Amino acid sequence: MDADLSNYRRSYEKNELSLSKSPENPFELFRDWFLEVDEHFPEDENNAMTISTLGLDGFPKNRVVLLKRYTYEGFIFYTNYNSEKGRAIQANPNVCLSFFWHGAERQIIIKGKAEKIAENLSDGYFESRPRGSQLGALVSKQSEVVESRAVLENKLKRLEEQFVNKDIPRPDFWGGFMVKPIEFEFWQGRANRLHDRIRYKLDNEYNWVKTRLSP
């Protein structure tokens, strides 16, 4: 197989990112960008983000997860703690998040440390999920080999019968992680590949230092 993609080109000309006009706190710029893309591109899953971890096998791995909450402290997503990414995070909490909003020609890359959130917060979110999603968390031994889809569907059917007219408890192997940033990079596509890149980095006194990077 040989596919030449060298002619795939696009000129980015929708917006610009100024060092002097960007806020001093990167969380505020994240909030502003997220609200803008969510308003102008509501058909997209704008809370989809790629998380990169260093696996137990020594290889980095990326996968897409859904951001469920963001605060001035960090970014929260939920997963099976026994999954490949869950075990990787617990062994090495240094992770990287990235958002790519192609419609707005914007990208955000966030380095940080992930930690489990409080159990009551995971309980509250689990209770808010549709019953099908709650049962799905019980069904799947995430990342483990499964013989067939029929195995999953049969287990789901048994659990549906087991929990008829009953609350579904959050399993202790499922819950949230919060990624607490130490660095943000905001990328705005520009013409001629001279993209705007603004980096925010925590210094030793936990102040955000803002700089422009070469594209």
Work out the end-to-end distance of the chain between its first and last CA atoms, rounded to an integer number of angstroms. 32
Weakest-pLDDT range from 8-12, 75-79, 173-177: 8-12
Whether pTM > 0.75 for this model: the answer is yes
Q: In the predicted model, is pLDDT for residue 6 greater than 90?
A: no
Residues 6 or more apart whose Cβ sits within 8 Å of residue 88: 53, 54, 55, 56, 61
Q: What torsion do the CA atoms of 15, 17, 21, 26 make, to the nearest 10 degrees? A: 120
Confidence category of residue 9, pLDDT binned at 50, 70, 90: confident
CA distances from 131 to 152, 162, 170, 177, 180 (A): 16, 13, 11, 21, 30
Instruction: Given the residues 63, 131, 158, 193, select the one marked as catalytic.
Output: 193
Q: What is the residue extent of each domain of the chain? A: 26-127+174-213
Mean pLDDT of the chain: 96
Tens digit of pLDDT for each residue in 40-61? 999 999 999 999 999 999 999 9
Does 193 participate in catalysis according to the annotation? yes
CATH architecture of the domain formed by 26-127+174-213: Roll (2.30)
CB of 198 within 8 A of CB of 20?
no
Q: In the predicted model, is pLDDT for residue 75 greater than 90?
A: yes
Amino acid at 83: S
Using the 8-state DSSP alphabet, how is residue 55 labeled? -
Q: In the predicted model, is pLDDT for residue 10 greater than 90?
A: no
